[in-house]
Structure formats: C-alpha cells, structure tokens
Amino acid sequence: MNILLIGSGGREHALAWKIDQSPLVDVVHSTPGNPGMDVIGPCFDVAADDIDNLVKLTLQVEPDLVVIGPEAPLALGLADILRARGFDVFGPSRLAAQLESSKSFSKARMMAYGVPTAAYGEFTTPALAKSFLRTMEAPFVLKADGLAAGKGVVIAETLEQADAEVDDMLSGKFGDASATLIIEEFMHGEEASIFVITDGHGAVYLPAAQDHKRVGDGDTGPNTGGMGAYAPAPVVTQAVMDRIKSEIVQPMLKGMAKDGMPYQGVLYVGVMVTGDGPKVVEFNARFGDPECQVLMKGLAGDIVPAILAAATGGLDGNEDAFESLFELERFDPTATVVLASEGYPGSYARGSVINGLAEANNMPGVTVFHAGTDRDSEGAIVAAGGRVLNVTASGASLEEAISRAYAGVDRIDWPEGFCRRDIGWRALKRS
C-alpha cells in the first residue's frame, strides 16, 4: 500500500523510516518532508497547514492511508475533510483534536468523565482570575487555552508574577489562544509520556517514554520543544500503567465516543506520577516529538498494522493481537539526543554546514533523524531550524542506548550546534 505522511520534523522522519520498513508498504510519500525523508520516498512542497492544497495533493496521490504528524492540520479539521472524501486517515477529527487545541475543552472532558487531573479554574477577566489565585498556593500554573507552540504555560513562583501573567495573557499575549486562561493546582511528581493508538474504542499502548523539556543539563533554563527522550521510562511501573489505562485512557475514550467525538489516531497522555497516583498534565492529539523518534526506533515489530487498524476501526476486540506487537520484550531500550542550533530556544542562525552524518548513522545501533535541516546549492546538509537533528540509538540496556547516542553525537561535525549531555538521567539515577 501507499502512504501519504504529513509533516517535516524529526517525528515525521522517524514515522517515515519505520513505516517504510513494513512489508505492507510500497511507497511513503511525504509533504513537505525534509532531507532525511526525501531519500525514503517522494516529497511534495505543500505545507502541513495548507489544508486546501493538502486535499488536492491527497486526491492526486490517492494514498491507501494518510498519516497526519503535527497538530495544526488536525486542529483545522484535515482528518474530517479527507475521511469525507473516502480516505483512511490516522489522526483524530477536529472535534476530538480539541483535547489538544483547547485546554478548556480538555479539562471539561476530564471533569465530565472523572479523570484525575489538577484542580483548576477558567477565566476570561483579570479580576476573577486574580481572586482565584488568592485561593491557591505557590507555585501558580497559568495556561493559555489554545495552541501556543509550547509557550502557553507559565509557572509563576509569586503572586506578583502570576498577576502580571494574568494581565499579559488576557490582553492578548497569545492572541485568541490566550483569550481564555486556565489556572491550575501545581502537581508534584515525575512526568511521563504515554502513547495510545486507538480507533476510538479499542486501544494499544506503546512503552512509556520521558521527554526533557528544559534547554539545560539538570533540567535548567527555558522550556523547549524537547531536547531528548528515552523509553521505556521506569517511573511508569506496571502498576502505574494499569492505573493510567483504567483511570485515564479507558474513561476518556469511552466518554468521547459516547459524546459523539470518538478519538481515532494516537493520543498522547502527559502524566504526572504523583504520590496520589497518575494524573493528567495534558493531552496531545499526535505523537510527541522527540518521543516518537525513540518509540519508532526501539520497536522491533511492524507499526503499520496498528495504525491502519486505528484508521479503519479494526482495533476494537483485537487489542490482544496488537498488544503483543508492542510489549516490552519486543522493544529495545532507546534514547534520542536533540542537536539544536546555538541560541535555541531564543534566536539562532541558519545555514551552517553539518558534516559526519553518514558516519554517525553507520555507528552501532544509531539512526540520525532530520528535523530542521535543508540542503544548500551544493547538496550539503545545513541547519535550517532550532531543533536540527535527533541522534537516536538503541542498545541492550538504556545505559548502552544513551552511550551509543552520544557516540553518534560526537561523530557529527557541527560547531554551531549544541545538545544536553544528561539525557536519561532520571532513569539512570534509579538503576
């Protein structure tokens, strides 16, 4: 079968790489893709949020399955439009994708279905928000309702900072996305990323992963899109996973289906493992980046049957067969290290040449996924974004995976780049 994959990041390179290995798949078409993806299959130049042209492209390519990587086209309803045209699509409807595109919607669904999450209030006027803050304890968690490219959450240490943030957000810091503000109780614990592949009824779970959001070693400095990840994450024990399934995922899927918004695709559950059990930090309507790179690299089995079943409704009742594809015995411990442009997440330069990619890619257990890269006029790979490469490696243990990933990093010659040197530290500290 033929696939059309939408997106251009490290997540999409990893998806293309994994999907292409399936005996079920002939060609992986991507749009817009990147220099790592155009050697796997043809890439087109339609952007991931250009809905009209994505529909035209799909009609032209006639894929057997459309896989939507990023959140923007999901929030714009691309999955609905393509399904109405008769295509099988891996990705939720616009209504279901509101679990990511509106934090207010997501919190309301959690309340309605009795799913554990932080207590909260929702505000559109500063006075009410500020009086609510005075009923809470520091630190204060303030969240813009809508999509804000990972910058919409502020954790304020003092009431003064929180008040100032209320004014900023409600006066349009993120435009419409912060016209509504969520103020949440701060949850203490360790975070983990859970990915559920679902057709809206049946569900299969990938091994738990952990992301590293802060730019600096020891989880210091500003938040980023993610500087590295690993799986499996030992903070999610079997007992914790069982509670995530029964207390979070099953009631969410059941509730969404009952309310006429069955969730089809991959659901990301951002979990805080607290002393009081797992609680939801947020949902996303797609794979996390860079967690996806780790999951695709570590998975021994074929991913395509599960994503196809999620798209076509074949998961429900067949979970056991799919679950066995994803069990821990069939997953190699894996880590990914993000190489970013010096200056990221602030401003950074573009166009510096990167050497040694083929050599790094040939090292034991290593696969280098492209994110923000481009080719210059001579065909050299150059930096073209903030997060540029994902050096990903598997091993017999997480320790080995991490040391292989850093060996790959050290083989790459790119003086204008940097990375964190402590990816996986929480897992290593436990063992």
Ligand X SMILES: Nc1ncnc2c1ncn2[C@@H]1O[C@H](COP(=O)(O)OP(=O)(O)O)[C@@H](O)[C@H]1O
Binding site for Mg ion (CB under 5 A): 282
The whole-angstrom separation of Cα 145 and Cα 123 is: 10
191 contact choice in ligand X, Mg ion, none (CB below 5 to 8 Å, kind-dependent)? ligand X
**CA dist 323 → 23, 207, 241, 295, 297 (Å):** 19, 11, 14, 14, 18
Backbone angles phi, psi at 336, to 5 degrees: -130, 140
- Hey, which residues between 102 and 121 contact ligand X (CB under 6 A)? 118
Would you state the torsion angle of the CA atoms of residues 223, 90, 41, 413, taken in this order, to the nearest 10 degrees? 20
The identity of residue 30, as a single letter, is S
63 preceded by cis ω (within 30°)? no
The whole-angstrom separation of Cα 72 and Cα 290 is: 17
CB 153 to ligand X: min, Å: 4
Strand-strand pairing, 27-32 and 2-7? parallel
* Binding residues for ligand X, total number by CB under 6 A: 14
Measured from the CB atom, the residue of 134 and 320 that comes closer to ligand X is 134
CB 395 to ligand X: min, Å: 27
Residue 375 tokens, joined? 């080719």
Residue 129 contacts ligand X per CB under 6 A: no
Residue 292 contacts ligand X per CB under 6 A: no
CB 120 to Mg ion: min, Å: 15
Backbone angles phi, psi at 393, to 5 degrees: -145, 145
CA 287 to the chain's CA centroid: 4
Q: What are the E-state strand segments in 124-276?
A: 140-144, 153-156, 181-184, 190-198, 203-205, 210-211, 214-216, 220-223, 228-231, 265-274
Residue 184 contacts ligand X per CB under 6 A: yes
CB 156 to ligand X: min, Å: 12
Measured from the CB atom, the residue of 69 and 152 that comes closer to ligand X is 152
Q: Which of 49, 168, 190, 191 binds ligand X (CB under 6 A)?
A: 191
313 contact choice in Mg ion, ligand X, none (CB below 5 to 8 Å, kind-dependent)? none
CB 282 to Mg ion: min, Å: 5
The identity of residue 387, as a single letter, is R
CB 223 to Mg ion: min, Å: 9
Contact between residue 232 and residue 328 where contact means Cβ atoms under 8 Å apart? yes
Backbone angles phi, psi at 414, to 5 degrees: -150, 85
As a whole number of angstroms, the longest Cα–Cα distance in the chain is 61
Residue 149 tokens, joined? 């490219």
Measured from the CB atom, the residue of 40 and 295 that comes closer to Mg ion is 295
Span interacting with ligand X, options 30-38, 84-92, 183-191, 253-261, rule CB under 6 A:
183-191
Q: What character string, x for contact with ligand X (CB under 6 A) and - otherwise, covers 138-167?
A: ---x-x------x-xx--------------
Q: Which of 186, 242, 316, 413 binds ligand X (CB under 6 A)?
A: 186
CB atoms inside a 10 Å sphere around CB 56: 12
184 contact choice in Mg ion, ligand X, none (CB below 5 to 8 Å, kind-dependent)? ligand X
What residues pair up with 66 in beta bridges, in sequence order?
4, 89
Residue 131 tokens, joined? 């009086």
186 contact choice in ligand X, Mg ion, none (CB below 5 to 8 Å, kind-dependent)? ligand X
Measured from the CB atom, the residue of 83 and 213 that comes closer to ligand X is 213
Q: Closest Cα partner for 66 from 22, 18, 3, 153?
A: 3
- Hey, which residues between 320 and 359 contact ligand X (CB under 6 A)? none
- Hey, which residues between 247 and 286 contact ligand X (CB under 6 A)? 270, 281-282
Measured from the CB atom, the residue of 150 and 346 that comes closer to Mg ion is 150
Span interacting with ligand X, options 58-66, 104-112, 179-187, 242-250, rule CB under 6 A:
179-187
412 contact choice in ligand X, Mg ion, none (CB below 5 to 8 Å, kind-dependent)? none
Is 221 strand, coil or helix?
A: strand
Kindly list the residues in this chain that would bind ligand X in the complex (CB under 6 A). 118, 141, 143, 150, 152-153, 184, 186-187, 191, 213, 270, 281-282
